[in-house]
Amino acid sequence: MNKFFLSLLVGVFLNLSVSADEINKYIKNQTFGVGSTVAVHVLDNNNNKVIYKKNENKSLNPASILKVLTFGASYDVLGEDYIFETGLYQDEEKNIYIKLGGDVLLNQDNLNLLVGNLKDIDFKEIYIDDSIFDKEKYPNSWIDEDKWPNQRMISPYIIDGNFVDVAINRSSLAKKVDIIQENEYKIAFINELSISDVHNIEIKRNYGDDSLIVNLTGTVAKDDVLHLPVLKPEINFNIKLNKALDKNKIIHSNIIGVKKVPKNSRKIASVGHTIQEISKLILHNSDNFTSEVVFKVAASKKNNYLKEATLSDAIKIFEEFYAPYLSKHDTIADASGVSRENKLCLKTISNILTKLFKNENYKKLLPTANQGTMKERLIFLQDNLRAKTGSMRELSALTANFKTRNNTDIIFVSIVQDSPKRKSLLKNYENGLIGLIYKKY
């Protein structure tokens, strides 16, 4: 072998060894807590060579970095031109159908505009087609703290985010607490709040998961506004639909039914939002509800909209799309990363990211430094970074793609699990590790 190339190869090997030693030293100097697991996988995306690895084959919970993977599979099925559409149809018997399409950004103005197309149309009945996916409120693997009021119910009935605002006001005489609801959709409350110098409001459903009665207990020290998910998304949607009919002065006194759009119906109009708009909620804001809805919409399209899609259908898409990269130990139980049953090893995640990031349009959907959940993080990598954070109790995760100062294209995955350290300290560790890689490679 040519001596020049041999010496060059040795030099590169020694440089990688020195850099790996520095990463080992950096990690060793951290205090993560007894029983914690630290895993890191760093890949050179130019040649697919592993630069650094630690516990890369250990099955860990990916938390919200799973969203990059599940949305990636959905994006492949839906396509970059996909519109999450709410359609208006009329059948041969002059009945009207509002076909729901999983548009999480649909608002009252959009619905008003859509319904306005009925002004000059002769019609009989109005139906809602909610067949795009099933009515399972939450993934089976979610626990109580993952559900209402912390998370919205997964439903095809979506308008104005499926939230209502509830005002909590101290009375003028400061003797009692008033609950004020100005939305047309009302929640039935049992008011057990009392005035105090301590502000601590607890929201409970004491009569089971299907109860429509909510207990507000605790103490109130100041006026407040609770931003709560609706308990019955279908009722909320119907209220908003009737409001749209009234606004457009369209008279329809009959009950709005539920029925699938028949074949040979004609499309009158539609409103919708692009997959790029929806992606910001998932990849920038890490919205769990949107992740679950989009996953099921992708499964519905995969099934040619022939049946109500389920989470199981969506997981099959994930498994098929990433089949070459998944090991027998890799498993997912939802789209958002909320479930404690999600288990992936870092090697799998890195390899999947190499596949996804070949699509530049997809990669650009992820936030860069100082955007979304990366706010005030890794600002020195502004516009030279695409990243997604993940967080659960005693867990912090980060995946990133960036170029080092030597122009090495890095795919980085880090998970710290079962660590009692504060989230801010774990984020500082991640920032420091990326900074070290940026300088040394």
> 249-297 pLDDT, tens per residue?
999 888 999 999 999 999 999 999 999 999 999 999 999 999 999 999 9
Q: How far is CA 326 from CA 43, 49, 322, 323, 410, in A?
A: 17, 18, 6, 6, 21
Residue intervals in the chain for CATH 3.50.80.20: 81-136+235-273
Q: For the chain, which ranges sit under pLDDT 50?
A: 1, 3-14, 16
pLDDT (0 to 100) of residue 175: 77
User: What count of other Cβ atoms lies within 10 Å of the Cβ of residue 147?
Assistant: 18
Question: Which CATH number is 81-136+235-273's, of 3.30.70.100, 3.90.1170.50, 3.50.80.20, 3.40.50.11540?
Answer: 3.50.80.20
Residue intervals in the chain for CATH 3.40.710.10: 10-77+282-440
Instruction: Tell me the C-alpha distance between 117 and 109, whole Å.
Output: 13
CA quadruple 357, 363, 366, 370: dihedral sign: positive
- Is the preceding omega at residue 324 within 30 degrees of 0, hence cis? no
Q: What are phi and psi of 320, to 5 degrees?
A: -70, -45
Instruction: Tell me the C-alpha distance between 337 and 113, whole Å.
Output: 35
Tens digit of each residue's pLDDT (9 = 90 or more) over 214-254: 999 999 999 999 999 999 999 999 999 999 999 999 998 88
**Cα dihedral value 326, 330, 335, 339, nearest 10:** -170
Question: Which CATH number is 10-77+282-440's, of 1.10.730.10, 3.40.710.10, 3.40.50.300, 3.20.20.70?
Answer: 3.40.710.10
pLDDT (0 to 100) of residue 150: 95
Output the pTM of the full model: 0.94
Residue pointed to by tokens 């990463």: 23
pLDDT (0 to 100) of residue 7: 43
